[in-house]
Copies of this chain bind each other. A is one copy, B any other.
Amino acid sequence: MNMYEEFKEKMRKLSDINHSIAVLSWDKEVNLPKDSAPFRSQQIATLSGISHDLFTDPAFGELLENLNNDSSLNAKEKKNVSVTLKDYKQSTKFSSEFVIRMSNLVSQAYHAWLKAREENNFDLYIEPLTALVAIKREEAKILGFKVHPYDALLDLYEPGSTVAELDVLFNDVRNQLVPFLREIRKMDQINNDFLHQHFDENKQWDFGLDVLKKMGYDFDKGRQDIAPHPFTINFSSQDVRVTTRIDENDFSNMCWSCIHEGGHALYEQGIPPEEYGLPTGSSASLGIHESQSRLWENHVGRSKNYWKYHYPKLQKIFPENLSDITLDRFYDAINKVEANFIRTEADELNYHFHVMIRYELEKMLLNNEIEVSELKHFWNSKYKEYLDVDVLDDNTGILQDIHWGHGSFGYFPTYSIGSFYAAQFFEKAVSDIENLEKNIANGQTDELLHWLRENIHKHGRRYEASELCERITGEKLNFKFFMNYAEKKYKEIYKMN
């Protein structure tokens, strides 16, 4: 076997183990009997340990170094090797002592978060979170960075992203979106109460399946199930599963989570199966992944064109709820803008303030500018500043997200990055595809899917996110595309001139 074949074989084996972990995790979320969690967690931990040992095996590192100097590889092969070598180096930087210490601190923080949520009291979270932030600062040092310690952690979730770049983006958010939302607040507000009537569970479920089918989600290569928190997971590009949840008193909950997860799933189903296990067989970054879900959720699924086709069907399914509601009223209602404390319930504009606040706080924490004990004060004042809301209590404020309790610092920005990529990609798709918006109004999104497949999905992790963005749109990620989209759409909805 030549070296590259040996590399592929090892990557396939690793991928088999990691996808097995994914199956166990999916089953844990979707099917697990009440008493089964401890053994399941142990089984996942065992497979994770095996995967880690295999990946950080020094012999594998040697193979990667040798391959990295092998001039006979073609460009794609070179990329697969260099990306894997980068991952390898990252994984081998940490001593077992450090990994165990981190794992214990994460576990303590997670349980403290649960406890603090129960008592609606951030104070209970301060001590373990302080310890966790301390080791995160240590982690950043071990990983290494050029300018800002937060860069080291951002790179784990969105390779290549830096504080310098994100500051530009979030400055734009602050400078452009804050005043725009202030304007919206002055206009007549939208009543969307009818979305909160009773919508039968089984009918919602069937509609969700239909939505997925129409998007091009392939049920021969996946399935939808119910789970407490909607997510997408893949065990290969031939088995990409989505989950949703149904609230009988809130139609929005199921519908846009279906479209959102469907967007993630189309990405995974579009990755070439023959690249299984290799970087070219996995997604480019969390931000690019989120761009796919947001593009479908917002640019398609919250557009008037999309509902020109789907709304009459929806009215037929729920005549008692919707027969008196015009398409225009429905469209306005599903795009209602309203400041709120809770990130996961935010509209597509306010959403970015929620992310920005977490970004700013994480950045300061990592750079020793603030301490965890001051976090709540800054949280609440930033919510007042950007969203003009007074946080009610810790549970609807600083305790609302689990991410920190999982040790995830640097993750939140990928949510906004994803939306901004989505806007930039969608504008390009509209200009590339003749009559795209007209076709969407006729229920046809296959050309859009084809465009996404060709421009994004099929490359896997061949190009770093920013490189991919430049290849597709001719320029780097720029907030202006999102702002253009937002202004055009919401000025019309809120009758602003």
Seed contacts A16-B43, A33-B221; 13 additional CB < 8 Å A-B pairs: A17-B46, A19-B39, A20-B46, A23-B23, A23-B27, A23-B43, A33-B223, A33-B239, A34-B220, A35-B239, A36-B235, A40-B235, A50-B50
User: Which of B16, B20, B43 makes the CB contact (< 8 A) with A235?
Assistant: B43
Q: Within the assembled complex, what's the spacing in Å between the Cα atoms of A347 and B20?
A: 40
Asked if A222 CB lies within 8 Å of chain B CBs, one says yes
Contact with B along A1-39 (1 / 0, CB 8 A): 000000000001100110110011001000111111011
Asked if A47 CB lies within 8 Å of chain B CBs, one says yes
Residues on B with C-beta less than 8 A from A238 are 33, 35-36, 38-39
Residues on B with C-beta less than 8 A from A23 are 23-24, 27, 43
Helix, strand, loop or mixed for chain A's interface? helix
Closest B residue, CB atoms, query A38: B238
Sorted nearest first, the 9 A-B pairs with minimum C-beta distance are A36-B239, A16-B46, A39-B236, A34-B220, A16-B43, A35-B238, A35-B220, A36-B238, A35-B221
Closest B residue, CB atoms, query A17: B46
Asked if A42 CB lies within 8 Å of chain B CBs, one says yes
Asked if A219 CB lies within 8 Å of chain B CBs, one says yes
Closest B residue, CB atoms, query A39: B236
- A364 CB → nearest B CB, Å: 41
Residues on B with C-beta less than 8 A from A235 are 36, 39-40, 43
Asked if A309 CB lies within 8 Å of chain B CBs, one says no
User: Which of B13, B33, B43, B239 makes the CB contact (< 8 A) with A39?
Assistant: B239
The answer to whether A39 and B276 have CB atoms under 8 Å apart is yes
Closest B residue, CB atoms, query A28: B23
